[in-house]
Structure 1
Amino acid sequence: MSTFSPSIDPSLSRIAPGFRALSILVEAAPLLHPEVAEAALKQACKDVVENDVPWAAAHLDAWHEVFKAFGAKPKRTPNSADALRKRVLKDGDLPAIDPVVDLYNAISIRYALPVGGENSEAYVGNPRLTFAEGNEAFDIMKEGEPTVESPDAGEVIWRDDKGVTCRRWNWRQGIRTRLDSKARHMWFILESLPAMPQEALQQAGEEFIAGLHSMMPGAIITTQYLSAEG
């Protein structure tokens, strides 16, 4: 895991000054307590409705402005946290998918915070957040069939040496690096803007790590703060 080193293009500070992220690398252990994720997801959905964090609306609005700054339409392609929370507010809850995915979705919902989870073993080279040239490969499923498409030129993407791993910053993840609880090496990225307090990002990370340790005792976890400013 020591060679896995995410980075952020410094030029992103032009459209998202003050952007910071918490990178979490996990060497997984046997998943002994999946019920931890189920409980966290139920509580997060309840909190959104009954006891939401005070910065939620401001943080999601700030993400909308960042998306507009690189040409995306946030109402049509919302960031991942916004999309999850809209489903919760509409339906009252979110169905379980996979314990690891459910746990990071719970953090995303509770903290109004885009959270990505990836199988780091599927990466070719290191992940980097940057502007797309427009010819990078992005693998998705479309109408039940695997398809390769490309991002728009100037779009913000996460990518590695092989292609795009997540389009429109944190809107849609690709298939190749998709994560589930069977992965041996996992990478998570918690992404925030200044509208969310720095201490809240730290708290979200600590809560997520505690949940991982509870689910898979013995997991080895390392963290790193990232920003466009270096």
Structure 2
Amino acid sequence: MADTPLPRDVVDGAGVDPAVLALRPDYRALLVAVDGVVPGPGDAGSEALLREAEAAAGRLLAGTAVDRLPHVAAWREAYRAFGAKPQRTRNSLEALTRRAGTGLPRVNRLTDVYNAVSVLHQVPLGGEDLSGYRGSPRLLRAAGDEPFDTVAGGEVVVEHPDPGEVVWCDDAGVTCRRWNWRQGRRTQLTPGTTTALFILDALAPLTDGALTAAADDLVAHLRRFSPELQVATRLLDRP
């Protein structure tokens, strides 16, 4: 097993392929890599945050359909731009916001916090276990032969993205398909995760200030139960 990459090295080595920025020039990603997470089950703090997110989603959807929320609508357009059907493969923000009406999932403290922050700030937010990472993340348009380690029908399988699909990869293969649709098994967060990478994705009309506020909120909630947390961040946008 390779050594776990250091948070600072992970974010410093990250990149976005120009072909992705040609597709959406307004795209930005804010990377937050952390070490020193204290793992544990959901607690009173994470439960309160989930309830706050569910209430916020309820207010947003009181007079507006999910697909008409500004950032959700922008991501639907982005999916169509590389050939995905957003009605069938929903971006993570839309999927979570839709679930909030009947209750967000309760998984573990770490996952519950980042899901709640995603809904509260209306930004797609993915979490990866850095102990399963190989090198740094890169966002690119797939050739179609990259391996994606996942589960289908209860069995572990290796799939491949569609040619031209926007995917996050590390040195070992795809870590998340269709920009922010489905994360892979190899780098998924577990109840024992102590070091993680979070990727916050933004399109217009979401501002850099709103993106930073979401990341700051995430880190503040993580520090509540991980006071020795070490954090490295980096904004990826147009060079």
TM-score, with structure 1 as normaliser:
0.92
Structure-2 residue corresponding to 1:199: 209
**Structure 2 counterpart of 1:6, from 9, 14, 28:** 14
Identity, % of aligned pairs?
39
Structure-1 residue corresponding to 2:82: 70
**Structure 2 counterpart of 1:186, from 176, 190, 196:** 196
Structure-2 residue corresponding to 1:48: 57
Question: Closer, same or farther in 2 for the Cα pair 1:27/1:34, shift >3 Å?
Answer: farther
Question: Closer, same or farther in 2 for the Cα pair 1:131/1:51, shift >3 Å?
Answer: closer
Alpha-carbon deviation of 1:85?
0.7
Name stretches of at least 5 consecutive residues in structure 2 with no aligned partner. 1-5
Measured against aligned partners, the alpha-carbon deviations of 1:73-126 in whole angstroms (never above 9, x if no partner) come to 01100100101111113x1x2131111111110011112211010011211221
After TM superposition, list the pairs within 5 Å mapping 1:20-35 onto structure 2.
20-31=28-39, 34-35=43-44
Alignment check: 8 A CA contact 1:115 1:191 kept: yes
Segment of structure 1 superposing worse, 182-191 or 147-156 = 182-191
Measured against aligned partners, the alpha-carbon deviations of 1:24-75 in whole angstroms (never above 9, x if no partner) come to 01012434784322211111111111257x9x81111111111000010011
After TM superposition, list the pairs within 5 Å mapping 1:35-184 onto structure 2.
35-50=44-59, 57-89=69-101, 91=102, 93-184=103-194
**Structure 1 counterpart of 2:27, from 19, 22, 27:** 19
How many correspondences in the alignment?
225
**Counterpart Cα distance in 2 of 1:141 and 1:18:** 33
Alignment check: 8 A CA contact 1:28 1:186 kept: no
Question: Closer, same or farther in 2 for the Cα pair 1:24/1:178, shift >3 Å?
Answer: same
Alignment check: 8 A CA contact 2:127 2:196 kept: yes
**Counterpart Cα distance in 1 of 2:157 and 2:218:** 33
1:116 counterpart SS class: strand
Name stretches of at least 5 consecutive residues in structure 1 with no aligned partner. none
TM-score, with structure 2 as normaliser:
0.89
**Counterpart Cα distance in 1 of 2:187 and 2:39:** 20
Alignment check: 8 A CA contact 1:34 1:215 kept: no
Alpha-carbon deviation of 1:11?
2.0
Question: Closer, same or farther in 2 for the Cα pair 1:51/1:61, shift >3 Å?
Answer: closer
Alignment check: 8 A CA contact 1:119 1:187 kept: yes
Alpha-carbon deviation of 1:14?
1.4
